[in-house]
Structure 1
Amino acid sequence: DQTLLQQNEAIENLRKQSPIELEAIFLIASRVADTLQGGNGGVVPELPVPLPETPQVPV
């Protein structure tokens, strides 16, 4: 349990250590929050699951 100030300081320290990773986490969290609040009509998007016979081609 941390105060809001301690949480902000911890986030800033993480931002200094791993800025790209932290931004990715915030992006994912905001999209999840939008989905849970009905930001896309309340529909949870399906994730594509490749079949074993589907070749994986890097983009």
Structure 2
Amino acid sequence: MDKRAEFETGAGGGNLQHQPPRVSDLVNGKISKFTIDALLTMLAKTGKTAELNIRA
């Protein structure tokens, strides 16, 4: 399955609890429009995890 299809506004939008234009931004790679918190929350709703490493 195409990764974009997983987040199509009809199905993924409901799962991610965001309006279709926001899901479209996400699918089209416009992640600068989202906060880190919002991205991590949406990621968690897909059942995926993230790891963040910060170096000084």
Whether these two folds match at TM > 0.5 is: no
TM-score (norm 1): 0.25
TM-score (norm 2): 0.26
